[in-house]
Amino acid sequence: MTTTTDNAVLVRSAYEAIGRGDVPAVIEFLDPEVLWVETQGGPYGGVYRGPQAVLEGVLARIGDEWDGFVVDVERVLSEGDTVVGICTYRGTYRATGRPMVARVVHVWEMRDGRAARFEQFVDTEQLNAAVR
């Protein structure tokens, strides 16, 4: 049985993997049936089902399109199978050279030690201003 504390540690580990650019570790963290929801109106807005869709639709694109993209984690809160990450995105969009800083909240729903659902809440205007 995975505890609330364990889930928070697992999500922190996923954030650390993102920070290292360890995409295989992030993909391994995702449940085979993961539902990944990016805020509508942003450059990656939409719903992705399964790790491959997340890889192709979000993670690979971020790696290809941004320089110095980081997720600064301020807090990780958890209760049961729900973990909330309060973070800040930072990076420079390669095509425009424009920097971006955007506050973001992630809600992770865990199942058996993996992320079964992820939802992002972000100020899309900050992202879009860098992309334009």
* Segment 22-59, tens digit of pLDDT: 999 999 999 999 999 999 999 999 999 999 999 999 99
Alpha carbon 123 to its chain's center: 14
Tokens of 10: 């697992």
Tokens of 9: 């540690």
The CA-based dihedral angle spanning residues 27, 31, 33, 38, taken in that order and rounded to the nearest 10 degrees? -60
User: Residue 5: what pLDDT?
Assistant: 78
Asked whether the beta carbons of 7 and 81 are under 8 A apart, the reply is: yes
Across 93-121, average pLDDT: 97
pLDDT at 96 over 80: yes
Distance CA 49, CA 33 (A): 7
Question: Domain 4-131, CATH 3.10.450.50 — does that match?
Answer: yes
Domain boundaries, the chain: 4-131
| Residues of the chain above pLDDT 70, percent | 98
pLDDT at 4 over 80: no
